[in-house]
Amino acid sequence: MPTSKPGCPYGVHRVIEPEWVLPQAAWKVDNSPVIWDNEILIDVSTLNIDAASFKQIVSTAKPGATPGEVKEHVAETVLDIVSRRGKMHNPVTGSGGMLLGRVKEFGPKAPRRGAKEGDFVATLVSLSLTPLKVDKIKEVHLDKDQVDIEGTAVLFESGPFAVIPPDFRKTLALAVLDVAGAPAQVARLVGKGDTVVVLGAGGKSGLISLAVAREKVGPDGKVIAVAHSEASTERAKRLGVSDIVLSADARDATGTMMAVLKANGGKKADITINCVSVPGTEMASILCTRDRGKVYFFSMATSFTAAALGAEGVGADVELIIGNGYAENHAEIALDLLRRNKALRAILEEMFPGE
């Protein structure tokens, strides 16, 4: 049963240390499943770990580890982080992810937003601020950055969530809603006739960004996809919305810039969108962008210090934009994009199979 105590809309009442900061900035939060009057209790089934965080965790497995050993390492790391912090907040990357679960209980003052107890929902706020208690890890999916668990989570009054629609499989909806900010934000940034470069174009946020950019630039604009691995490059090609698809390592800033210039008649992009899930790609984004152009960092592997000082260091007069995972109606915008873009949906369904 919920406590009768009135909770802070932003969850400050759950912060253990340091005092008075918001939950995302806190080192540790109270993950007790006894909810306050304005909270929602969720029985969690799957954690969708942020791509940068998942890659970092996998990278710390012992050299030569088998897939089974890597899974065990991921499970142990997730349990350790949650036990120490009360939330899935990777202390190295600073990022979290989001979750899928069934609503167990609403506090008497909690907003229902069209949901009822028993509905499957995806939270649209980061695991880095969500009180989480993990009782058991059931499965680690290395190919999807997802972890199936038994546990509970608490959603604050201010935290948006989305009921899983009947025309989407849960695993697909979870993956898409994890990057739901991308289509809404890209649509705001890109205009007709723009040249857009998407780095990390073969991942889920990259593919989504490509699709939206194509819709927005129109027939006079240009979309350039830059992917790294053979598989991600092939996915970008298969989507069929890019004028140019390049294979390059975005950690090589000058090499990536030269590849874009060579393929684009010596011209840089009006807008570069960074969806790469590994560190060290800030300068490639900046060098691929014309003066007074825009760089949108959707990747949580971004160092904003490196981006700001790096732009200054090369004399690049570009607008640096921090990726915001939230935008008004972003869940509906992301799901509607998949409903109308059959090729995008087919690729993502293959990337995220399951129930």
- pLDDT tens-digit map of 295-305: 999 988 999 99
pLDDT at residue 130, as a whole number: 98
Retrieve residue 189's tokens: 């940034």
For CA atoms 136, 125, 74, 133, give the dihedral sign: negative
pLDDT at res. 258:
98
* Whole-number pLDDT of residue 20: 86
d(CA 223, CA 345): 19
The reported pLDDT for the residue numbered 354 is 78
Three-class SS state of 9: coil
d(CA 146, CA 293): 35
**Tens digits of residue pLDDT in 142-187:** 999 999 999 999 999 999 999 999 999 999 999 999 999 999 999 9
- Which of 220, 231, 15, 34 lies closest to 128 in space, CA to CA? 15
Say which residues have a Cβ less than 8 Å from residue 137's Cβ, sequence separation at least 6: 75, 78, 79, 147, 148, 149
The pTM for the full model equals 0.89
pLDDT (0 to 100) of residue 19: 86
- Give average pLDDT by consecutive 10-residue segment, the chain, 355 residues: 77 94 97 96 97 95 97 98 98 95 96 94 96 98 95 96 94 92 96 98 97 97 97 98 98 98 98 96 98 95 95 98 92 96 97 86
Residue 27 has a pLDDT of 98
* Domain spans, the chain: 12-164, 181-351
191 contact partners, CB below 8 Å, separation of at least 6:
216, 217
Return the pLDDT at 12. 96
User: Considering the domain 181-351 in this protein, what is its CATH number?
Assistant: 3.90.180.10
